[in-house]
Structures are given as structure tokens and as C-alpha cells.
Amino acid sequence: MPILLALTVPVLWGSTYAVVALFLEGLSPVWVAVWRALPAGALLLLLHPKRPPLPWSKVGLLGLFNITLFFPLLFTAAYRLPGSVAGTLGATMPLMLLLLQWLWQGKRPDGRALGLALLGLTGVVLLLNPSADLDLIGVLAALGASLLVAQSSLWMGNWPVRDALGLTAWQLFLGGLMLVPVAWLLAGPPQPVAPSAWPGFLWLTGLGTAFAYWAFVRSLNRIGANRMSMLMLLNPVTSVLLGIALVQEHLGWGQWVGIALVLLALILMKRKPAPRADEPVSPRATPAIGKATG
């Protein structure tokens, strides 16, 4: 069932923050990004050695946004913020997708969607209360990472392909290659990784990247960018639960209210509005499954 595969994506991505706290503390965020992306891309290309299913320019653009720019921002947020906070900021992706669709495609949000977006933004403001003493760089990195994923999701929704595995492999491989000189410039040459960090890298590279990104690309083509973005509400839920259970994180009551408002907005966005009394009921339509199956 497509929805079950899609649900694994935010759950696996939501575990990133706990994995960093448990296994990858003290490592360079940009080199962690390289070791997450490049081996995953190389592994998928070995398993699926085919040409990219899109023109090189489009694959390169997706690799730049989804990997080269996104991963350093993601790990910067993971190292500077509690996982619950970083995950909740990541769940603003549906709100950003609405904004991007309005800006680039002229799809103006209706009043209901706009109201829910404002509700979610209110939650973010509460979450980022100055008294919480949150790291500004980490906050901007988390929001920037969400914006990049929203934009690339919009592109992939408009560029459906049948070879989701091939597109995933090339995105990760090209994006990882472009990350190497960035990491070298920002953090110097790579340092040896202690054996204690290997379980974290195995989780992030295998399940959190190779599998999760394939599931993400496939799900975008099967259920659409908007529905996929709504499922990202499980990202902060996973982050909060793992952060509390494994990393002993604690949040103030104001931050909990903020998280609740963000989740409420996303849950309500997923629900279809009830038809008005004067609105004719249309015949039941066959659900769309997308232009490609991956």
C-alpha cells in the first residue's frame, strides 16, 4: 500500500537527531553529510547501474538541493538544536510547499489553508520563544533545510519518472560528490571515524538515506507532493519521542504548546473540509495514483 511506504519516510528521517546525539557527537556536520550521502548513492548505483531517468541538468539540480545544500543544513540543525525542536521546524514543509506553489505556480491558498498555515506559524513562534535560548544558526538551518526539500518536492512532483531507484541513486551520488569539496573547504580533510560511530553511520546511510530517499521519491510520484508533505508531521513526533526516551531531552510548557499547535495545523490540513450545504455533491471519483509508479 503506497501510504504505508510513505509513512516510513518521516519516521526514519525523524530518527536522525537521536542518532546524531547517541553516536555522532563531536563529528563535523558537513563530513557526516558526505558519509551519509555518497556511500548510499554508490551502493544504489551498484545495485541499479542505469543512466539517470531525467536530464543531467535536472538530476544535478535535485542533487544540489536535496543533498549538497540540504544535508549540511540538516546536520547543523541536528548538532545545534534538541531533536524535538529541529524535527518540529522540519514539519513546516507543508506550509512552505503552499507558499512555493503560490509563488511559482499561481496556486493561491484558500482561506482555510491560509488560516491553518498561520496557526502553524504561531506554534513555531511559541517554539522559538527567546526564553527557550535556542541557537539561531540551528533554527535558520532547520528552516532552510525544510525550504529546500519543499522546493525539490515541487520539482519532482512535476517531473514524474518510472525509475525512482535510479533517480534516488544519482541524486545521492552526485549530491555527495558535490559535497566533498564543500566539506574539505569548511572542515578540512576528513578525520578517522571511531568504531563507536559506525552504528550511527550504518543506520543513516542504509535505512535513513538509501531506503528512505527511494521511498520518498517513489511516494512523491504515487501520492503527490502535497499529501507527502502532510505525512511529514510524523517527523517531529518521532523526534520528540526518541529525544525524550533516548537522549533525556526536556522542553518547557510553552514549547510543548508550540509543538502541539504545529501538529494540530498539519493534522487539520490533512482533513478535507466539509462541503457547504449549497454545494452539489459530486460523484465519487477514482483516486489518482500519479503519473508513474516508480
Positive or negative, the CA dihedral 30, 35, 36, 38 is positive
* Residue 259 CA to its chain's centroid (Å): 17
Q: Are 27 and 148 in contact (CB under 8 A)?
A: no
Average pLDDT of the residues of the chain: 83
Half-sphere exposure for 257 (CA within 13 Å, toward CB): 9
133 — pLDDT class (breaks 50, 70, 90): low
Our CA dihedral for 198, 201, 202, 203, rounded to 10 degrees, sits at 130
Cell of 273: 473540509
Residue type for position 207 = L
Q: Are 31 and 255 in contact (CB under 8 A)?
A: no
Range name among 128-142, 144-158, 204-218 with the lowest pLDDT average? 128-142
User: Cα(first)–Cα(last) distance of the chain, in Å?
Assistant: 14
Round the CA-based radius of gyration of the chain to a whole number and report it. Answer: 19
Backbone torsions φ then ψ of 135, nearest 5 degrees: -75, 120
- Decide if pLDDT at 4 tops 70: yes
pLDDT tens readout for residues 44-79? 999 999 999 999 999 999 999 999 999 999 889 888
179 — pLDDT class (breaks 50, 70, 90): very high
- Of all residues in the chain, the percent with pLDDT exceeding 90 is 42
Positive or negative, the CA dihedral 121, 123, 124, 128 is positive
